[in-house]
Amino acid sequence: MKYVVTVLLGVAALFTTTMALGAADEANKARVAAEQGAATHTDHVESGVAGTATQSFAGQTAEDAEAIAAEREPFPAELPAAPEGDVAEVNLVVVDKAVEIAPGVRYNVWAWGYDAESATALGPPIHVREGQLVKFTITNEGSIPHSMDFHAARIAPNEAFKDVMPGESFSFEFVAGDPGVFMYHCGTKPVLAHIANGMYGAIVVAPSDLPPADEEYVLVSSEWYLDSPGVDEPANLSMDKARAMTPDWVTWNGYAGQYAQHPLTADPGDTVRFWVVAAGPSLGTDFHVVGTVFDRAWANAAMHDPQVGPQTVHVPAGGGGVFDVKIDEPGTYPVVSHSFASVELGQVGILKVGEPKGGASH
């Protein structure tokens, strides 16, 4: 398998080697079927001759991958503004669609969005203020049941996080009383399949007493488990790979290497804040910015007791962390998980500070 080399400002290869792994099996597909009148679901995996998913499609992209990556608009990482007033209304639609997760690699996701057109490989970042009442509505325009689980909510899940059937909507509300950054995701069984198919995102609950930042970015870590390369036709979920935790791609905000081709930016001396969620479904991320240390880090989004000066901080699957960094020297600073297998699989970006000369070493 050929890894594609993507270079920005001298950044070393995102995908760099040739890899040959065991014999290919036939495509494994994960489907979820609703039982009549019930709110429980079962996954069905169609196994090939071998019965297991042994072939990796890591690094397999379209022949014109670099051009595709350069032309593609990256997923917006900037933290959106929080709504004014005491109430934050959030309405998300679920649809089935094929999206691109790496250059020329398409995958059939169960997608969140504010509408069907905007739905993509992960849900939009949600920003509310501590103490706001969040009024949430899910509208299911997909083909199977889905639900919403907010990690930021203190609420009875059997009442709020219930399955919503295709063609239906459901609303619930909660007070965002705990500051930090939290995961949201579909909680319908099998949860592994629903998260692996793109049903996740980040909700930021901003405290009023947080030190100011000049730039704020939301990064969500996740894995993709493919039953085919996804180049000639969209791939589907390999549940065998998902259960074995052997991803083909690991990404920031749903797309491999997008912030290497399209860097996040800051001016020298700016305080840059990263709101980081590890969506998994199974792997965490060891958050690190190459070439600096964090001025402050709120591990697992515990906003009352920041660490000072850590180099790398683990964000567990389903967890979140907040990281401040102030960089004075212009340069290209890679933003990675320091679990470098994840970097090889696409979880790498660049924080471009000022107008640097030369390239990065990583």
- The arithmetic mean of pLDDT across residues 95-105, rounded, is 98
Query: Which single residue is written with the structure tokens 């704020």?
Result: 216
Under the banding of pLDDT at 50, 70 and 90, the label for residue 362 is: low
- The arithmetic mean of pLDDT across residues 53-77, rounded, is 93
**Buried-state track 128-158, b at ≥16 Cβ within 10 A, e below 16:** bbbebebebbbbbbbebbbbbbbbbbeeeee
Question: What is the structure's pLDDT at 360?
Answer: 56
**pLDDT surpasses 80 at 6:** no
- The arithmetic mean of pLDDT across residues 105-131, rounded, is 96
Question: What is the structure's pLDDT at 263?
Answer: 98
Under the banding of pLDDT at 50, 70 and 90, the label for residue 31 is: very low
CB 94 within 8 A of CB 139: yes
Eight-state DSSP code of residue 300: G
- The arithmetic mean of pLDDT across residues 69-95, rounded, is 97
Question: What is the structure's pLDDT at 297?
Answer: 97
Under the banding of pLDDT at 50, 70 and 90, the label for residue 282 is: very high
User: In the structure encoding, which two tokens stand for residue 247, read together?
Assistant: 């991803």
User: In the structure encoding, which two tokens stand for residue 11, read together?
Assistant: 């950044």
Question: What is the structure's pLDDT at 361?
Answer: 57
Under the banding of pLDDT at 50, 70 and 90, the label for residue 176 is: very high
Alpha helix positions (H), the chain: 65-71, 157-160, 191-196, 239-244, 258-261, 340-344
Query: Which single residue is written with the structure tokens 């679901």?
Result: 41
Statement: the pTM of the whole predicted model exceeds 0.75: yes
**pLDDT surpasses 90 at 84:** yes
Beta bridge partners of 202: 183
Question: What is the structure's pLDDT at 302?
Answer: 77
Q: How far is Cα 243 from Cα 240, in angstroms, rounded to an integer?
A: 5
Under the banding of pLDDT at 50, 70 and 90, the label for residue 253 is: very high
3-state helix, strand, coil split of the chain in percent (to 5) is: 10, 40, 50
CA distances, 58 to each of 15, 92, 119, 345 (Å): 9, 31, 25, 6
Under the banding of pLDDT at 50, 70 and 90, the label for residue 45 is: very low
Q: How far is Cα 91 from Cα 169, in angstroms, rounded to an integer?
A: 10
**pLDDT surpasses 80 at 109:** yes
**pLDDT surpasses 90 at 151:** yes
Question: What is the structure's pLDDT at 142?
Answer: 97
Q: Report the percentage of the chain scoring pLDDT > 70.
A: 84
**Buried-state track 201-236, b at ≥16 Cβ within 10 A, e below 16:** bbbbbbeeebeebebbbbbbbbbbbbbbbbbeebbb
**pLDDT surpasses 90 at 10:** no
Q: In what order do the strands lie in the sheet with 105-113?
A: 105-113, 87-102, 133-140, 169-175
Under the banding of pLDDT at 50, 70 and 90, the label for residue 7 is: very low
Eight-state DSSP code of residue 174: E
Could you give the 3-state DSSP secondary structure of residue 304?
Answer: coil
What is the secondary structure of 198-234 as a DSSP string? T-EEEEEEE-TTPPP-SEEEEEEEEEE-BSS-SSSS-
Q: Which amino acid is at 185?
A: H
Give 301 or 87, the one with higher predicted confidence.
87
CB 338 within 8 A of CB 276: no
Q: Which amino acid is at 56?
A: S
Q: How far is Cα 267 from Cα 119, in angstroms, rounded to an integer?
A: 31
Beta bridge partners of 332: 352
Nearest to 281 by CA among 312, 323, 239: 239
Tens of pLDDT along 221-246?
Answer: 999 999 999 999 999 999 999 999 99
